[in-house]
Amino acid sequence: MGDVLRALMADSDEERDRYLDREFLRQAVMRAIFCERSGVALDVDRAVMVTTVKGDHRTIHVLDGPAWDEAEPALRALAAKLGREVEVIDGRQL
């Protein structure tokens, strides 16, 4: 059963959101294929989708977990400096 169908059948909002996040991440991984930072082949269970948001403008990056762990402090600092919000979907936590 796919994650979208699981989301429709979820018993709670939290469970639904987790299934939808996993599906969003899966689509991003299929599109990117390789980590933008390390060049490693992406896997949904280890990938991280990072979205920076300012108004209606969204920028999405898909990284391998270790690459995100390394880049996170600098990216969050830069986003704060530029007035952007950071949204993260981490496959390791889904």
Q: Please name the residues in contact with 26: beta carbons below 8 A apart, sequence gap of 6 or more.
A: 3, 44
* pLDDT tens per residue across span 18-36: 878 998 999 999 999 999 9
Residue 2 pLDDT class (50, 70, 90 cuts): confident
Q: Which runs of consecutive H residues, i.e. helices, occur in the chain? A: 3-8, 13-32, 65-81
Residue 3 pLDDT class (50, 70, 90 cuts): low
Task: Provide, rounded to the nearest whole percent, the portion of the chain with pLDDT above 70.
Answer: 90
| pTM: predicted TM-score of the whole model, two decimal places | 0.85
Residue 24 to residue 78: CA distance in whole angstroms: 24
Helices then strands (H, E): number in the chain? Answer: 3, 3
Confidence (pLDDT) at 74: 96
CA 48 to chain centre: 4
